[in-house]
Amino acid sequence: MTTSKNLVVGLVGVCTSGKTTLGTRLKAQGYHVRHIAQEHSFVKDMWQRIAKPDLLIFLDVSYEVSKQRRSMDWTQTDYNEQQRRLMHAREHADLHIQTDLLNAEEVEAQALVFLKEAGSETG
C-alpha cells in the first residue's frame, strides 16, 4: 500500500519562500522530502531530472515580503529571474502555497492536508 509518506515530495520556490523550513517540518513528520534549488538553475525541468518527485509543492513569496524575511542583496530583477526559472515547476506543481501571510505552522498544515489526501488517493 502506497501512502503519502512513501512518496518523494519535491519542494521548489524562490528564495525565502519557506522551502527549508517546510522541508525540515515534513521530514520530522516522516516524509521523504527533496529541496530542489530550481530557482538557481537555467535547466527548466531540473526538478524532474534530479529529484524525480512523486509530488511537487511550489512555495511562493512576494518580493516585498522576501526582503522582510531575510536581508538579501537582491533586486526586483533578481527576484523576477528566479520566478522565470521556476515557471516550468510552477506549471507542473501539485500544490501551490503563497506564503506571504502564513507562518511556518500554517504552511505546514496546508502541506500536510494535501499530502494526506494525496496518500489516500494513491493507496
Distances (CA, A) of 55 to 11, 33, 112: 9, 10, 12
Give the neighbor-by-neighbor strand order of the sheet with 32-35: 32-35, 8-13, 55-60, 95-98
Q: pLDDT tens-digit profile of 28-76? A: 999 999 988 767 666 677 777 677 899 999 999 999 999 999 888 889 9
Q: What single letter denotes the amino acid at residue 77? A: T
**Global model pTM greater than 0.85:** yes
Q: Percent of the chain scored above 90 by pLDDT?
A: 70
**More confidently predicted of 6 and 9:** 9
Name the grid cell of 54.
512523486
| Confidence bin at 6 (pLDDT 50/70/90) | confident
